[in-house]
Structure 1
Amino acid sequence: MPEIPSMCLLHQWLHFIQITVQHHDHHLDEVLVLPIILASGALAIILMWIYRGRTFRHKSHQNSDLEGIQPSEIMLVLTSSKSRKMVGRKGLLPMIDYNLLEAASNSFSELNVSAKRVSGDLYKAHFNEGITALVKKLNGGKQENEREFENEIDLLSIICHPNIISLVGYCFHAETRFLVYEMMENGTLETQLHGPSRGSALSWHIRMKIAVDTAKGLEFLHEHCDPPIIHGDLKSSSVLLDSGFNVKISDFGLAVAVGSQNKANLQHSGALGHVAPEYLLNGELTEKSDVYAFGVILLELLMGRKPVEKTAPSQCQSIVTWAVPQLTDRLQLPNMVDPVIRNAMELKHLCQVAAIAVLCVQPEPGYRPLMADVLHSLIPIVPIELGGLWGP
């Protein structure tokens, strides 16, 4: 029997009470009417509670219902994989047969590489019936490999948000571990900004949409997860983009829950240009560490520069040390912007985004804003048609 929405269910019970009272008005003593109403109301509330519990449990197991991939397509992948089931902390994920992944990725050919990363390269995988997915082949030593693999499964099997990557399944092969994600046609933000196209596909408005989507994902991790989750490895290569340049944050291998004693492995993360100074100094990792990393991404979107660039054969300069001292100069600011988007935005919006970036990368964590505040500041800059609030 189909489930009835809770408000509709309550309405039907109230209607039933009304009819009952009217029908028995001449046969029931007035004293009995109130108990009937109270009992019926209590029953309606209980049914609503049961319904909401069912709905919550149903939603908690929808982590495999991927954005952009139809359920029928998912079932094809699962049935083709001869899958076994592995239980994460709160969910079921299919084990996908290695031979299927190998065939779908053309034996993990270089031609199928979507992005090269320290934590693990991403490969485009083409399954039957035109289904595509991303396969992450984890790098590193066996212990690091296993820890990050289990961490991603534990977290992504229970997190469901439009701006967090969805996990289709996983695979073991000898000592190598594989994670299978939903397909992201436009690869990583790092490749879009610093690859061959040099950001040419990213207009000012698209860049601001990417910033807002990324902020939404982080705000969800910090404000709506219990306990809050610190990503700990956020960088432009962790920001995946679908065909419409919608963001999905990935790379949760080093993520930790607030209050956890676990420490991320900086040498293995490959995110040194995005790492907050307090973590480099004393290993302190908080939500404000993610805010700092977001600020670096915002600077990349504005300037089109890499987080760390060589200034001499043996010298490097971070985008933070290069940009921040100049960002407060309103006249100089337009000249610092990526040429692809130069003069493509209102100066007041450019100044506002620059000010947000400066706040996010403050050396002292206490001076950095919360991701919720960052999100509320950025949304008015994005056009309505791209999910923001701004209109001409």
Structure 2
Amino acid sequence: MFRYGQNDSNGERFWVTKVFSLQSIQPEAAHYNSTAYLKVQYSSSDSSSDLTLNKRKVILAITLPTTSIFILLIIVAILYPQRRRKYKENDEDSEFNQLLSGMPTRFSFEKLRECTEGFSKKLGGGGFGSVFERKLDGERVAVKRLEGARQGKKEFLAEVETIGSIEHINLIGFCAEKSHRLLVYEYMSRGSLDRWIYNHRSNTRFDWSTRCKIILHIAKGLCYLHEGCRREIAHLDIKPQKILLDGNFNAEVADFGLSKLIDRDQSKVMTMMRGTPGYLAPEWLTSQITEKVDVYSFGVVILEIISGRKCIDRSRPEEDVHIIYLLREKAQNNQWIDLIVDNNSDDSVSRQEEVIQMMKLAMWCLQNDSSHRPSMSMVIKVLEGAISVESHIIQSFLNANSIMSVQDNQYLYLVREASILSGPR
């Protein structure tokens, strides 16, 4: 391509064959005021490179701050819960320290784990924890370990507060270390009551006198909780699994994880349903309860001790599933003796009248209206022979339409979200 130059002083133009041919202009012509027009080919690759570079700069300008913020958020998300959990654990430890200030020995979790060999020898378990047996400093103990994030702390606090109120003589120590909640009790060699009353093997040691002794001890334990403490204590989960026996079949009410402390000036207390299906008093349907719910559960336990069967046994014919219905039927037909677990033994035959009186006591405890049930101090008087159960109380039980829906699985399914239901131990 040819271009031309122009000398503005005289309008003279000249051809330029090459861009750099301007260098051939002689120096003496430098005084000319000349203008040159050049056409230079523009490189597309250079343009693309500049554009790519600009894009990279923009991307980096956006990406670097965004990435930094994202990394910072991740760090905060990781560290904040840890710090919060640490502060929460410190607060909980402080709370426990205040509650447990008057309690016996405090053990480390590591010591209890070591003495139980990693919690290997399990005695039993329930909805909120497990019990392990081992030796601690040469003494046989039962270590109760509460488990479960939802209920563990609540049940531990309830049990600790209750134990603090009653000064539990069998409690040896405890552990409250971070998320670990454990209680150390004196070992009860006979285990829980359910192992004896549901065992249909012939056992001469578990005769009628032993059964009566156990019933009396349970009554005295509940009487102390209801009437002998500064604040009234409702156990709320009385059943054979919560009654422990020592080598001489002395019974002890245990496991206060569902218990509730009631002020003396309160006639009733409102709380969510708690306990075990089969032992729940009718008033649990209203969520307004008194210590009389324990009396109702005690009545069910009496029937289980007498009959040697569970209060709800779905393996039986439909009419015999609920032990309370069965008691009503047998009493109406004057077939009391049919309920006795060993009704053919000499011991039961000779004690028939005592057994019937015990069933009548159970009827008194199982009144639908809680105000018609006896106090536990009245129960003790009946057991000791000081008073007897009046006939109109028996008639009231026989004529009542029991509210059993509180025991049925269909109802429990509806209230499960607002309940604390205890499983087997």
| TM-score bucket of the superposed structures, by smaller chain | 0.5 to 0.7
Whether 1:236 and 2:240 are equivalent positions in the alignment is: yes
Query: Aligned pair in 2 of structure 1 residues 313, 307: CA closer, same or farther (>3 Å)?
Result: closer
Aligned residue in 1 for 2:144: 136
CA distance in 2: counterparts of 1:337 and 1:314, whole angstroms: 20
SS in 2 for 1:273: coil
Contact preservation (8 Å) 1:92, 1:157: yes
CA distance in 1: counterparts of 2:318 and 2:179, whole angstroms: 37
Aligned residue in 2 for 1:360: 365
Whether 1:182 and 2:203 are equivalent positions in the alignment is: no
* TM score, norm. by length of structure 1: 0.66
1:223 to 203, 221, 227: 227
Contact preservation (8 Å) 2:270, 2:287: no
Aligned residue in 2 for 1:122: 131
Query: Aligned pair in 2 of structure 1 residues 90, 211: CA closer, same or farther (>3 Å)?
Result: farther
1:159 to 147, 166, 190: 166
Query: Aligned pair in 2 of structure 1 residues 217, 128: CA closer, same or farther (>3 Å)?
Result: same
Whether 1:294 and 2:298 are equivalent positions in the alignment is: yes
Query: Aligned pair in 2 of structure 1 residues 122, 194: CA closer, same or farther (>3 Å)?
Result: farther
Contact preservation (8 Å) 1:165, 1:248: no
Can you list the C-alpha shifts for 1:202-237, whole angstroms capped at 9, x where unaligned? 211111100000000111111122221111111111
Whether 1:97 and 2:108 are equivalent positions in the alignment is: yes
Can you list the C-alpha shifts for 1:80-105, whole angstroms capped at 9, x where unaligned? xxxxx944377233321222222322
Can you list the C-alpha shifts for 1:288-315, whole angstroms capped at 9, x where unaligned? 1000000011001000011211147999
2:279 to 271, 274, 277: 274
Can you list the C-alpha shifts for 1:319-338, whole angstroms capped at 9, x where unaligned? 222223313544x2222201
The number of equivalent residue pairs is 285
What's the offset of the Cα at 1:264?
Answer: 5.0
CA distance in 1: counterparts of 2:164 and 2:304, whole angstroms: 30
CA distance in 1: counterparts of 2:116 and 2:344, whole angstroms: 35
What's the offset of the Cα at 1:277?
Answer: 1.5
Can you list the C-alpha shifts for 1:221-259, whole angstroms capped at 9, x where unaligned? 111222211111111111011111111111211211224
CA distance in 1: counterparts of 2:179 and 2:319, whole angstroms: 37
CA distance in 1: counterparts of 2:147 and 2:344, whole angstroms: 36
What's the offset of the Cα at 1:193?
Answer: 1.9
Moved more, 170-179 or 200-209: 170-179
Aligned residue type for 2:223:
E
Whether 1:336 and 2:336 are equivalent positions in the alignment is: no
Structure 1: 4+ residue segments shifted above 6 A: 312-316
Contact preservation (8 Å) 1:93, 1:157: no
CA distance in 2: counterparts of 1:312 and 1:167, whole angstroms: 40
Larger radius of gyration: 2
Aligned residue in 2 for 1:326: 330
SS in 1 for 2:173: strand
Query: Aligned pair in 2 of structure 1 residues 126, 368: CA closer, same or farther (>3 Å)?
Result: same
Aligned residue type for 1:144:
Q
Whether 1:88 and 2:99 are equivalent positions in the alignment is: yes
Contact preservation (8 Å) 1:254, 1:265: no
SS in 2 for 1:225: coil
For structure 1, the residue ranges without an aligned partner over 5 or more in a row are 1-84, 382-392
**Structure 1 vs Structure 2 CA RMSD:** 2.8
Can you list the C-alpha shifts for 1:156-212, whole angstroms capped at 9, x where unaligned? 12314xxx6632222246534211111111110112222585876421111110000
Contact preservation (8 Å) 2:273, 2:287: no
Contact preservation (8 Å) 1:230, 1:290: yes
Contact preservation (8 Å) 2:269, 2:288: no
Aligned residue type for 2:211:
R
1:205 to 205, 209, 212: 209
Query: Aligned pair in 2 of structure 1 residues 203, 165: CA closer, same or farther (>3 Å)?
Result: farther
For structure 2, the residue ranges without an aligned partner over 5 or more in a row are 1-95, 387-425
Whether 1:254 and 2:262 are equivalent positions in the alignment is: no
2:307 to 303, 308, 313: 303
